[in-house]
Amino acid sequence: MSYYITTSISYVNGVPHLGHAYEAIATDILARHKRQTGEDVFFLTGTDEHGEPVADAARAQGLEPQELADRNSARFIALMQQLEISNDFFIRTTDERHKQRVQQVLQRVHDRDYTYEGVYEGWYCPRCADFKVENEILDGNRCPIHEIELTREQEQNWFFRLSAFQEPLERLFDERPDFVMPQHRFNEARAFIASGLEDVSLTRAHLKWGVEVPWDRSQVFYVWFDALLNYYTALGFAREGEDLTDRYWPATYHIIGKDILKFHTVFWPALLMAAELEVPRHVFVHGFLLAGDGRKMSKSLGNVLDPFEVLERFGADALRHYLVREVSFGQDGPVSGDAFLARYDSELANEYGNLASRTLNMLERYCDGVVPAVATQEGLRAEFSGLFERVDELLSRAEISLALEEIWGHVRRLNRYVEEQTPWAIARDGARAGELAEVLATLAEGLRVVTVALVPYMPSKTAELLDALAARERTERAFAAQGWGGRVSALAPLFPKAAAEAR
Ligand code: MSP
């Protein structure tokens, strides 16, 4: 079966921040894991380039919107590369091919009579490019996300008959309890629908920066409809001369943040139904990375931990590991430079990095650098059996933090195994050579297994380690009964203890 996974697409009114990195990392872990298990994966990310926020930001900087979009989109692409995100395509919504397909789909929605003309009036946040409903507005008429004052807006535009999908959406939620995950987000979306759906404005008259409405050229589509459709349009042109729609549609997972829940779990399936397209299988809603003051981290609030800085100093793997470990996927959680350094030291340098260098050093010292081709220790083998199945099961539900916790438990188990067995003491007694071979074969195999499981999380360092273990080809997902007899090579510390100097 195919596995199509997407991040949301980022606004280009600002440069990327850690929240964007987080979503891309999480999605990448799932994509890499599925590729590892042999599935036919397509992973899409990109930038959302139309709408009020981009037009406003460009104006403020004396640029054309397209110039700003080009500039910032390039920053997002660079971030993806630095994070080692393995996306199969990067969509930009200013791509002509996207715009054409948006027009085709929405024309169909119009032809099927799910649109009508009307007057829209409401409290509007230009940063969100969204009208706010009464119960989400903060005191003093401020945006709940950006905390800026909302403006009262009125205009003649086209509406989408969202209300016509009240029952179909209720049915969708009744039939598919895993349509939205985690559960509390499912409940939130379900409650929103139950509160009664009102039609929503589909187009904008006062704005020029968008995709033209084919049946009314004086209007452009409201940026959210243009943006949501990226998941569908991309499959039409991601591969030159090929249409991937039949192969990958509908999406298996959309990975999104909690602030855009309503768009993805209510508007989006309704729009797809209106266009007679299949709805996605799952939407997974993650929480926010919070700054020390407990507020959402974002460029506009000026409390940003810059992903580029962390990447520069510590590399992608360390950042990927930190974010997934620190903030339980699906919940909010604080992040900080100090917490990053503490976890880097304790888990990456000490627990994993040290395990790797110790194991390689002992193999070199006591076994002439060759993994003994003898039976691994039965007890440990039993403890490791089922690891991949458990990781698979968790990741099939997008539980990236729980799966990493499971793997990390095994990293710690191997460290305890070294302490229990004390191979250096066994080595002093020539009569215990067989025992020593068993312990080191077991350790090498355990290290190989946790490392293969960690590949989706830390693609670079795990590749280095598997090379050093001469186990690059040994990617089987089970704890082998026998050491493999490979010749290991020296490895520079995977995660040098840089924290002390960096503090
Ligand atoms: N352009 C829209 C999405 C359109 S999808 C059809 C958008 N862009 S965004 O740049 O504002 O946000 C992109 C993603 O980053 C969203 O999923 C959002 O929830 C996520 N994050 C933004 N700040 C975040 C944190 N502080 N923490 C974690 N993720 C957050 O919304």
Per-residue 3-state assignment (H helix, E strand, C coil) for 185-231 = HHHHHHHHHHCCCCCEECEECCCCCCCEECCEEEEEECHHHHHHCHH
pLDDT value for 92: 98
Is residue 296 annotated as part of the catalytic site, yes or no? yes
The domain locations on the chain are 2-310, 336-502
For ligand 1, the distance from its centroid to the CA atom of residue 298, given in whole angstroms, is 9
Q: Tell me, what's the pLDDT at 301?
A: 42
Residue 443 neighbours by CB under 8 Å, 6+ apart: 359, 362, 414, 417, 418, 423
Q: Ligand 1 centroid vs 132 CA: distance in angstroms?
A: 17
410 included as an active-site residue: no
Q: In this predicted structure, what is the pLDDT of residue 403?
A: 98
| Residue nearest atom 12 of ligand 1, based on CA coordinates | 10
Identify the CATH homologous superfamily for domain 336-502: Isoleucyl-tRNA Synthetase; Domain 1 (1.10.730.10)
- Among 110, 296, 321, 410, the active-site one is 296
128 is catalytic: yes
Q: How many angstroms does the Cα of residue 228 sit away from the middle of ligand 1?
A: 13
The encoded tokens of residue 10 equal: 């980022």
Active site residue 299: yes
Residue of 260, 296, 331, 332 to mutate, ligand 1, most atoms within 8 A of C-beta: 260
Query: What pLDDT does residue 325 have?
Result: 98
> Phi, psi (5° rounding) for residue 283?
-120, 120
Task: Specify the ligand 1 atom closest to the Cα of 14.
Answer: 10
Q: Active site residue: 98, 110, 125, 264, which one?
A: 125
CA 88 to each of CA 5, 49, 91: distance values in angstroms, whole numbers, following the listed order: 10, 20, 10
For the CA atoms of 409, 414, 420, 424, the dihedral, rounded to the nearest 10 degrees, stands at -160
Question: Which residues are registered as beta bridge partners of 282?
Answer: 253
pLDDT score of 188: 98
List, chain by chain if needed, residues with CB within 6 Å of any ligand 1 atom: 8-11, 19-20, 22-23, 48, 227-228, 230, 256-257, 259-260, 288-289, 296-298
Distance CA 216, CA 202 (A): 12
Is residue 180 within 8 A of residue 283, CB to CB? The reply is yes
Report the pLDDT value the prediction gives residue 305, as an integer from 0 to 100.
64
How is residue 69 written in tokens?
């979009």
Active site residue 110: no
Using the mean position of ligand 1's atoms as its centre, give its distance from the Cα of residue 8 in Å.
7
Amino acid making up residue 28: D
Instruction: Return the H-helix or E-strand segment holding 108.
Output: helix 96-111
Cα(162) to ligand 1 centroid in Å equals 23
* Residue with CA closest to ligand 1 atom 10: 10
**What separation in Å is there between the alpha carbon of 259 and the centre of ligand 1?**
7
CATH fold, domain 2-310, is Rossmann fold (3.40.50)
Of the residues 23, 76, 284, 322, which should be mutated to test ligand 1's pocket, given the most ligand atoms within 8 Å of the CB? 23
From the list 53, 26, 9, 44, the residue with the least C-alpha distance to 207 is: 53
Please identify, by atom number, the ligand 1 atom nearest to the C-alpha of residue 227: 6
| Whole-number pLDDT of residue 303 | 45
The whole-number pLDDT of residue 302 equals: 44
Number of the ligand 1 atom closest to the C-alpha atom of 20: 15
Is residue 125 among the annotated active site residues? yes
Instruction: Give me the average pLDDT of each 10-residue run along the chain (503 residues).
Output: 97 93 98 97 98 86 96 97 98 98 98 96 79 79 88 91 98 98 98 96 88 96 96 98 98 98 98 98 97 58 64 94 97 92 95 98 97 97 97 98 98 98 97 97 98 98 96 90 93 83 47
What phi and psi values does residue 16 have, to the nearest 5 degrees? -65, 145
Confidence at residue 481, expressed as pLDDT on a 0 to 100 scale: 95
Closest C-alpha to ligand 1, atom 29? 19
Ligand 1 centroid to Cα of residue 134, in Å, is 22
Three-class secondary structure assignment of 299-315: HHHCCCCCHHHHHHHHC
